[in-house]
Amino acid sequence: MARTRLAGATLIVAFIGWLSIGVAAQTAATVVGNASKAMGAETLGSITFSGTAQNANFGQSRDIANPWAPTGITRITNYTRTIDFNQPASRAFGPTQPPAVPGAPAPMPGNFNQNITPAQNNWTQQLEIWITPWGFLKGAAANNATMRQAGRLSVVSWSPAIKAPSGQAYVVTGYVNRDGLVERVETRVDHPILGDLLVEAEYFGYQDLGGVRVPEKIIQKRAGLQTFEATITAATANPANLKELLTPPAPAGGQGGGGGGAAAPPAVEAQRVADGVFRITGGYVSLAVDMGDHIVVLEGGQSEARGLAVINAARQAIPNKPIRYVVNTHPHFDHASGLAPFVAEGITIITHENNEDFLEDALEAPRRLVGDALAKANREPEIEGVGDRRVLKGAGHTIELHHVRELQHTDGMLIAYLPNEKVLFSADFNIPNPAAPPAAVNPSLTALVANVDRLKLDFTTYITVHPPVPERPLTRADLMGAVGRGTN
């Protein structure tokens, strides 16, 4: 009996040894080669596929931590995407139906249009080509991929030639099942708020469409949040009309005449609004307020460069005093992307409490790829949340911060009111050009005025983060007139 048990154990050991040799033999090259054959990618130079899709407004949603809420999803009918892996280039397009906004007129249909050309040689855009199942396999075959085994999946990784701003390599990782099908691809990209932002693409229900295996369902996530979904019903490998599919339509009204190029950006200046209060131009407008022993900055700007410019301008206008606070009007990415340099200098962020957890998680995330001032400082963010109201006082100045209620644009909007100077400061409540008034009143402006009435804010000067076009001083009358009211 003992000899029987020993013989059985010997057989088990032999089987494990054979299995180990089999797994070891599965190199990245063999896994990628077998998957390319299984998916019909070996002779695939280009592909076009179509169906329907949905796109979330990531970074601009009402709840910044929930972009996939029904009120934030834009539906794309007749969604079509074409990829040329040889250039590389991509174009995706289709008619859109934006979500309805409560209290606003029905949104007008639009067009989704995403174009990636070889000239756009940055990973933020190029990754859309290389995280597709076929792009991933082609990139792996050309870039010395490595492999490890994770249960039933072969995990293959490779790095593109493009480098991150920090000089570090990007890494693309794909998960290939035993049938040679790519189930998921992920990578990270540098992001001014979220640091090393995780981008994931998941593929479900592969179908054979013209000799190429194409997923029926595609789901994309960023930072773990769903941002895109497509259902694919048709595909063509190596389409004969590739050039036509990749060519966007001409802009409406033709190409236009020689206009002399884009206008130069306005100069960064600290313009005096009142004693100790300065309006900082040169991008998204900020305010710097002298609070006696420190400075408060309202609005950090739309990029690291802008954040640094605002810091410098505030210190030049109000010398020899530290910046203690920067007020984030709301967390949309174009208004929060300048916060990192403030954090790097130990400046506390004040934001509405609905944004606090999101910004804290984002700004304390690893920034190995970003290589910015915050990555070098390696500082934890200091963030203070505001409920309905907070008042800052010092050196004859008072800043009232108020939450804007019942606003569909974002649930985390703060406005600032300076009662001594009778100044109202806000973001994203833009006054339309009087020369081209809108067909209907902007519901965001209606919400702002309702809050101004509720709070009984007595202001005469209205300063907006987005300067008016054409540039001009704004008043209470301008705001009230935009909603069809007089000055009261």
The answer, yes or no, to whether residue 260 has pLDDT greater than 60, is: no
The answer, yes or no, to whether residue 335 has pLDDT greater than 60, is: yes
* Average pLDDT for 17-23: 39
**Is there a domain that residue 118 lies in?**
yes
Supply the pLDDT for residue 434. 67
The answer, yes or no, to whether residue 441 has pLDDT greater than 90, is: no
The answer, yes or no, to whether residue 281 has pLDDT greater than 60, is: yes
Share of the chain above pLDDT 90, in %: 80
Query: Where a domain ends, among 191, 211, 246?
Result: 246
- CATH code of the domain covering residue 148: 2.50.20
- CATH code of the domain covering residue 356: 3.60.15.10
**Is there a domain that residue 256 lies in?**
no
Share of the chain above pLDDT 70, in %: 89
**Is there a domain that residue 264 lies in?**
no
Residue pLDDT, tens place only, 151-206 = 999 999 999 999 999 999 999 999 999 999 999 999 999 999 999 999 999 999 99
The answer, yes or no, to whether residue 12 has pLDDT greater than 80, is: no
Is the domain of 282 the same as that of 230? no
Supply the pLDDT for residue 487. 66
Supply the pLDDT for residue 261. 54
Is the domain of 382 the same as that of 286? yes
Binned at pLDDT 50, 70 and 90, residue 435 comes out as: low
Rounded distance between C-alpha atoms, residue 186 and residue 100, angstroms: 32
**Is there a domain that residue 309 lies in?**
yes
Residue pLDDT, tens place only, 383-410 = 999 999 999 999 899 999 999 999 999 9
Supply the pLDDT for residue 257. 45
Is the domain of 233 the same as that of 315? no
- Structure tokens that stand for 467 in this block: 């300067």
Tokens 């100069």 belong to 267
H/E/C letters for each residue in the chain?
CHHHHHHHHHHHHHHHHHHHHHHHHCCHHHHHHHHHHHHCCCCCCEEEEEEEEEEECCCCCCCCCCCCCHHHEEEEEEEEEEEECCCCEEEEEEEEECCCCCCCCCCCCEEEEEEECCCCCCHHHHHHHHCCHHHHHHHHHHCCCEEEEECCEEEEEECCCCECCCCCECCEEEEECCCCCEEEEEEEEEECCCEEEEEEEEEEEEEEECCEEEEEEEEEEECCEEEEEEEEEEEEECCCCHHHHHCCCCCCCCCCCCCCCCCCCCCCCEEEEECCEEEECCCCCEEEEECCCCEEEECCCCCHHHHHHHHHHHHHHCCCCCEEEEECCCCCHHHHCCCHHHHHCCCEEEEEHHHHHHHHHHHCCCCCCCCCHHHHHCCCCCEEEECCEEEEEECCEEEEEEECCCCCCCCCCEEEEECCCCEEEECCCCCCCCCCCCCCCCHHHHHHHHHHHHHCCCCCEEEECCCCCCCCCCEHHHHHHHCCCCCC
The answer, yes or no, to whether residue 22 has pLDDT greater than 90, is: no
Supply the pLDDT for residue 486. 73
Supply the pLDDT for residue 11. 40
Is the domain of 389 the same as that of 241? no
* Average pLDDT for 424-443: 82
**Is there a domain that residue 10 lies in?**
no
Tokens 């009261």 belong to 488
The answer, yes or no, to whether residue 256 has pLDDT greater than 50, is: no
Is the domain of 303 the same as that of 394? yes
Residue pLDDT, tens place only, 313-333 = 999 999 999 999 999 999 999
**Is there a domain that residue 488 lies in?**
no
The answer, yes or no, to whether residue 150 has pLDDT greater than 70, is: yes
Contact 86, 277 (CB under 8 A): no
Is the domain of 370 the same as that of 478? yes
Among the residue ranges 258-262, 354-358, 459-463, 478-482, the one predicted with the least confidence is: 258-262
Number of domains in the chain: 2
Mean pLDDT of the chain: 91
Please give the residue range of the domain that contains residue 372: 270-482
Supply the pLDDT for residue 244. 96
* Average pLDDT for 103-117: 85
The answer, yes or no, to whether residue 92 has pLDDT greater than 80, is: yes
Is the domain of 221 the same as that of 290? no
Is the domain of 224 the same as that of 367? no
**Is there a domain that residue 372 lies in?**
yes
Which bin fits 101, alpha (ψ -120 to 50), beta or left (φ > 0)?
Answer: beta
Is the domain of 339 the same as that of 421? yes
Is the domain of 239 the same as that of 309? no
Query: Where a domain ends, among 198, 214, 246?
Result: 246
- Structure tokens that stand for 344 in this block: 């790097």
The answer, yes or no, to whether residue 442 has pLDDT greater than 90, is: no
Is the domain of 292 the same as that of 375? yes
Residue pLDDT, tens place only, 447-484 = 999 999 999 999 999 999 999 888 889 999 999 999 98
Binned at pLDDT 50, 70 and 90, residue 144 comes out as: very high
**Is there a domain that residue 258 lies in?**
no
Binned at pLDDT 50, 70 and 90, residue 20 comes out as: very low
Supply the pLDDT for residue 10. 40
Is the domain of 339 the same as that of 413? yes
